[in-house]
């Protein structure tokens, strides 16, 4: 019996990577390859050699990602089918007609770029509510959190559909206007929302716990709140031509890599917040909770900053501030109940570490790519522009965090607070520089 068990275990361990693929994996790979080849044949004439290289490199990367995490393969197929369906609905006598977005039911209410992104916004709010309701209800907790997870998946899908369709719409406005939608604050905030949520959903599946969903969806919902304000205040949903500095294939690599970093850094900070809540769950002396109250004030700082720097929308930001303050206060007051639902401190610490490690790797790649892009656009790899300087500060902060963890065994409270400080630094690099400083990256100013 022992011999049979050992033989079975050995066969399992020695099973090849391709031998573990099922029929769905191979169908997915075939569809991705066919789609990539079709795109190359159909639109290759409009691509330079670098863009063709990116497309060709994307095919095996997409297949590997789908094989590595099967839910992602399903998401890719659904997004591709919906985006192609939207493109088909735009057709009028064999040509794209953007006016159909106001007359075709599915485009008008569901899968034009703006409709899909508005659905994304609403669904992320709903997901946040489900996760938090699940944190407190008895008996139906897992059901509510499962609903939160499924709604989050749907929100990610709508965000990606909106992004793909927006890409198509930009080319229908004009070939010289068409571009991948990662060029301004509106577009990158959409990317931040779905990317942060998607990384969380991966960790949710890996650790078999949905209790962190409420915390992570708070930062996603905060980003959605900014996105909605920015849409109204700046009419930001309108597709604009690229400024000359952005007319580069480097943008297709640099910006997404950057936002893998931003998304995972935000995720790690919210996990750190959960860590501190669980750690202080049984503390009854309010003065001992002063650091967490200060954290609440810091989390509410964004609306106050925008109220002071913008001439419009101050009432919106005051309502935003009030909601933020109530949420933070509610979390602190209900910390004992919340702590019971959260996973062990060791699990929280491990998620924090893995999120920062992934983010740091991609942020490093993005920084190198940014330097190469700067050399092409401005004639120098580094110019100490405010955006570049603060990107370096972010990089050094997380490099020090990882060094202290790997070399000195940094764990627990100190690492959690450091991750939260990292979010503040990252937020200033992302938004604060655009608000208060100027430089070569001023095309992203508010």
Q: Quick check: 385 and 441 in contact, CB under 8 A?
A: yes
pLDDT bucket at 295, cuts 50 / 70 / 90: low
Burial of 346 (0-12, 13-18, 19+ CB in 10 A): exposed
Stretch 96-108: mean pLDDT: 92
pLDDT bucket at 281, cuts 50 / 70 / 90: confident
pLDDT at 393: 96
pLDDT at 246: 84
Stretch 133-155: mean pLDDT: 93
The two structure tokens encoding residue 65? 């990602």
- Mark residue 411 as left, alpha or beta (left: phi above 0; alpha: psi -120 to 50; beta: remaining): beta
pLDDT at 357: 97
Helices (H), 335-411: 335-341, 345-378, 386-408
Look up the pTM and report it: 0.91
pLDDT at 383: 85
> Taking 80 as the threshold, does the pLDDT of residue 440 lie above it?
no
pLDDT at 11: 45
pLDDT at 294: 61
The DSSP secondary-structure symbol of 440 reads T
pLDDT digits (tens, 9 = 90+) for 146-155: 999 999 999 9
Residues 6+ away with beta carbon under 8 Å from 158: 116, 117, 119, 120, 123
> Taking 70 as the threshold, does the pLDDT of residue 305 lie above it?
no
pLDDT at 12: 47
> Taking 60 as the threshold, does the pLDDT of residue 399 lie above it?
yes
pLDDT digits (tens, 9 = 90+) for 236-277: 899 989 888 788 888 889 999 999 999 999 999 999 999 999
Lowest mean pLDDT among 105-109, 150-154, 320-324: 320-324
Stretch 3-22: mean pLDDT: 62
Stretch 418-445: mean pLDDT: 78
pLDDT digits (tens, 9 = 90+) for 224-238: 998 998 898 888 899
Question: Domain spans of the chain?
Answer: 250-300+351-440
pLDDT bucket at 1, cuts 50 / 70 / 90: very low
Average model confidence (pLDDT) for the chain? Answer: 87
> Taking 90 as the threshold, does the pLDDT of residue 432 lie above it?
no
pLDDT at 292: 64
Angle (CA) 130-136-142 rounded to 5° is 60
Q: Quick check: 275 and 295 in contact, CB under 8 A?
A: no
Angle (CA) 109-145-194 rounded to 5° is 50
The two structure tokens encoding residue 346? 């060791």
Rounded to an integer, what distance in angstroms lies between the CA atom of residue 257 and that of residue 188?
Answer: 12
Is residue 56 classed as helix, strand or coil in its secondary structure?
helix
Distances (CA, A) of 281 to 295, 336, 369, 416: 16, 5, 43, 15
**Concatenated DSSP letters for 233-285?**
HH-TTS--PPPGGG-STTHHHHHHHHHHHHHHHHHHHHHHHHHHHHHTTT---
pLDDT digits (tens, 9 = 90+) for 343-392: 999 999 999 999 999 999 999 999 999 999 888 878 888 888 888 999 99
pLDDT digits (tens, 9 = 90+) for 13-68: 446 778 889 999 999 999 999 999 999 998 888 888 888 998 999 999 999 999 99
The helix (H) or strand (E) run that includes residue 136 is helix 113-136
């Amino acid at each position: 019996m022992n011999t049979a068990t050992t033989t079975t275990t050995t066969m399992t361990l020695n099973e090849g990577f391709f031998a573990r693929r099922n029929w769905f994996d191979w169908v997915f790979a075939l569809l991705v390859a066919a789609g990539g080849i079709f795109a190359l044949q159909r639109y290759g004439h409009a691509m330079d050699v670098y863009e063709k290289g990116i497309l060709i490199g994307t095919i095996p990367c997409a297949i590997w990602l789908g094989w590595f995490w099967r839910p992602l393969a399903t998401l890719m197929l659904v997004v591709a089918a919906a985006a192609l369906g939207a493109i088909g609905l735009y057709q009028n006598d064999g040509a794209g007609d953007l006016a159909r977005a106001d007359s075709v039911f599915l485009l008008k209410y569901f899968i034009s770029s703006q409709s899909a992104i508005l659905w994304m916004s609403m669904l992320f709010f709903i997901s946040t509510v489900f996760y938090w309701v699940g944190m407190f209800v008895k008996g139906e907790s897992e059901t509510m959190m499962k609903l939160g997870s499924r709604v989050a998946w749907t929100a990610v899908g709508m965000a990606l559909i909106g992004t793909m369709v927006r890409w198509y719409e930009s080319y229908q406005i004009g070939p010289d206007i068409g571009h991948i939608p990662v060029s301004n604050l509106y577009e990158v905030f959409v990317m931040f929302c779905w990317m942060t949520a998607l990384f969380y959903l991966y960790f949710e599946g890996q650790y078999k716990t949905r209790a962190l969903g409420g915390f992570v969806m708070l930062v996603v919902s905060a980003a959605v709140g900014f996105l909605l304000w920015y849409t109204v205040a700046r009419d930001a949903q309108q597709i604009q031509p690229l400024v000359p500095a952005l007319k580069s294939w480097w943008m297709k690599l640099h910006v997404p890599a950057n936002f893998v970093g931003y998304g995972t850094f935000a995720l790690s900070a919210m996990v750190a917040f959960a860590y501190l809540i669980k750690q202080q769950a049984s503390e009854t002396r309010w003065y001992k909770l002063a650091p967490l109250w200060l954290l609440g004030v810091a989390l509410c700082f964004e609306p106050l900053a925008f109220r002071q720097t913008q001439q419009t929308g101050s009432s919106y930001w005051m309502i935003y501030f009030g909601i933020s303050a109530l949420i933070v206060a509610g979390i602190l007051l209900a910390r004992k109940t919340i702590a019971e639902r959260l996973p062990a401190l060791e699990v929280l610490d491990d998620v924090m570490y893995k999120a920062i490690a992934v983010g740091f790797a991609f942020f490093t790649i993005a920084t190198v790519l940014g330097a190469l892009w700067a050399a092409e656009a401005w004639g120098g790899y580094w110019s100490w522009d405010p955006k570049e300087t603060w990107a370096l500060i972010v990089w050094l902060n997380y490099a020090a965090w990882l060094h202290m963890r790997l070399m000195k065994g940094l764990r627990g409270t100190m690492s959690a607070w450091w991750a939260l400080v990292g979010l503040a630094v990252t937020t200033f690099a992302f938004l604060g520089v655009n608000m208060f400083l100027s430089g070569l990256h001023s095309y992203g100013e508010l």
